[in-house]
Amino acid sequence: MKLITLLFMTLSAAQPTPPSSNKTVHQFTVTDIDGQAFDLSNLKGKKVMIVNVASKCGLTPQYEKLQALYETYGPNKFVILGFPANNFLWQEPGTNQDIKSFCSTKYDVTFPMMSKISVKGKDKHPLYKFLTTKSENGLSDEGVSWNFQKFLIDENGELVKVISPRTQPDDKVVTDWLNQ
C-alpha cells in the first residue's frame, strides 16, 4: 500500500501545472487625462477596477455609483481607473479636457481618469488587448461589449473577473470581491 501511495504521489507531482500568464496590468504605463504617464506598477497591492466610460451613454449615470464605490473603498486599497472610449455609437466624442470637465462638474469624479483610448478594433489599446485576450491575461477571451464594462484586477495585477456593462458598480459581486 505504501508503494502505491508513493507511486501516486510521484506521478501527481510530475504532472505539469496548467499554463498561466506571467503578465499583469502592472507591466503597463498609460496616459492620464492630463497627458501625464501613469505607471500601473504603482498600483501593486491594490485591487483595481478598470472601466471604459462614455459621457453620452444611457449607462453614464454609473459614474455616480463608481464615485461612491471609490469613496467607500479607495484609494489606499482600491482604485478605479476610467478609460474614456468612443467605440460605441460615438458616445464619447469630446476631448480629454471636455471629458475631465464633464466628469468633475456632473459627477464629482475623483478617481483617476485616463486619456481617451480605443477599447476594440484595429487600434485597440495594448492594455485592452491584455484585458480581452486569454493568452495575455490567463483568464478569458472576452471583448468589450459596450461602455462601462468592468475588469476586476487583484492586488497582484491579475485579471480575476469581467463584469457586464449593465451590472452596477456597487453590485454584490463587486462588493463581495472588495470585502475579501
**How far is it, in rounded angstroms, from Cα 180 to Cα 163?**
17
The catalytic residue positions are 57
**How far is it, in rounded angstroms, from Cα 86 to Cα 20?**
32
Enter the C-alpha cell of residue 10. Answer: 510521484
119 and 144 in contact (C-beta within 8 Å)? yes
Q: 476594440: which residue's cell?
A: 120
Decide the pairing of beta strands 78-84 and 150-153: unpaired
